[in-house]
Structure 1
């Protein structure tokens, strides 16, 4: 599955934003140390912009930039044959068709290395669009996941509580309370009981900074 296959599986930007916000709060509860988290969300990334991100600690990542003009999703799989660092250029077609209102997101210096955008897969959706778009890309043959989109965006295409619980149980090596995950993915106001169901050593007060950063509702 490539970025082109991912596009119809993504929800509307508002739904995606809430899901990303919830993922960040779930990770904040299970992993209080910010540098070790997999998901994060900054509700004040830039004026009128919000940013969701994933980093797996091995050089792979995605970011979702939410702007008034639209939403831009960037994925980078460092082992992809489409890595821009293999031939010192972004793979042809990946960014060529990004519309002008979102070009600044695609060229954001924070997500470049030696002047090259760290990207193997990109999707976007203008505020006037009814669907997600990708560039016209001639994919390298003979690779099951050439742009990394299949696994990079799995948490965005399968937004079930079960999917997150399976991920977190494996990644953080802790038991995960499924009803608590459902509560947070539904963006219900966070309570001490829900927090302690996921991490008995944490309180709602401990999460004050994370809730402010993500904009997640508190009780």
Structure 2
């Protein structure tokens, strides 16, 4: 299982970024109300910066920054705070300091932290307690569409087609294929506001064509 103990199982930066976008697209389709989504992605978060966020509504969250060829993950498990930020960010490269010690990360909290180092490999600081919920939060990034389907089927309950979330559509979105109305309507019965979905896709910077 991917975790701070087995962080080398995380995908490389570009694949990880594509997964963050794909999962955020799927959440946007299934859950039109932004405030109730689990995953969201902003490709225009800052100059040369893109941002992904996970919020479970109960206090656990992840803030993820993509900058140049680098990436950093700040995770916070509200019931498991045995790791201090000063330890989990030990030897953190300077390029990440503004993000990890600024807002919103400082207010959100950090109980585990992972980043891409100068060798383009994942790294973490000093983890004193591996019981940090990182395994649960990072499991979605194994690259398997079925992992998302299993999670979303439980989390979103009846927000998708009665036949379930189709594996093939999720696979195509994971592969970055152009999103069509047909693909969207294979997941949900109807879309009340296509323009709103388009706005979400533009923010994520995911390709779509609703004319075909």
The structure 1 residue matched to 2:171, chosen from 177, 182, 189, is 182
Tell whether the 8 Å contact from 1:80 to 1:146 is kept in structure 2 after alignment.
yes
Alignment of 1:46-57 (within 5 A): 46-57=46-57
The structure 2 residue matched to 1:199, chosen from 184, 188, 193, is 188
- Provide the rounded CA distance (Å) in 2 between the counterparts of 1:76 and 1:190: 32
Tell whether the 8 Å contact from 2:145 to 2:170 is kept in structure 1 after alignment.
yes
Tell whether the 8 Å contact from 2:82 to 2:111 is kept in structure 1 after alignment.
yes
- Equivalent residue for 2:72? 72
The structure 2 residue matched to 1:100, chosen from 85, 91, 94, is 94
What do the CA deviations read for 1:131-162 (whole angstroms, capped 9, x no partner)?
100012322xxxxx522111111112x22110
Tell whether the 8 Å contact from 2:13 to 2:69 is kept in structure 1 after alignment.
no
- Provide the rounded CA distance (Å) in 1 between the counterparts of 2:3 and 2:148: 21
Question: Which secondary structure does the structure 2 equivalent of 1:109 belong to?
Answer: coil
1:120 aligns with 2:111: yes
What do the CA deviations read for 1:168-204 (whole angstroms, capped 9, x no partner)?
1000003312211111111100001000011121175
CA apart distance, 1:108: 2.3
- Provide the rounded CA distance (Å) in 2 between the counterparts of 1:2 and 1:12: 13
Structure 1 segments of 4+ aligned residues over 6 angstroms from their partners: none
1:129 aligns with 2:119: yes
Question: Which secondary structure does the structure 2 equivalent of 1:133 belong to?
Answer: strand
Equivalenced residue count is 203
TM-score norm. by structure 1 comes to 0.86
- Equivalent residue for 2:203? 213
1:164 aligns with 2:154: no
Unaligned segments of structure 2, at least 5 residues: 159-163
Unaligned segments of structure 1, at least 5 residues: 84-89, 140-144
What do the CA deviations read for 1:78-119 (whole angstroms, capped 9, x no partner)?
010426xxxxxx345111221111111211211223xxx601
- Provide the rounded CA distance (Å) in 1 between the counterparts of 2:189 and 2:149: 17
CA apart distance, 1:4: 3.3
Tell whether the 8 Å contact from 1:124 to 1:134 is kept in structure 2 after alignment.
yes
Q: CA RMSD in A?
A: 1.8
TM-score norm. by structure 2 comes to 0.89
CA apart distance, 1:36: 0.3
Tell whether the 8 Å contact from 2:38 to 2:56 is kept in structure 1 after alignment.
yes
Alignment of 1:21-60 (within 5 A): 21-60=21-60
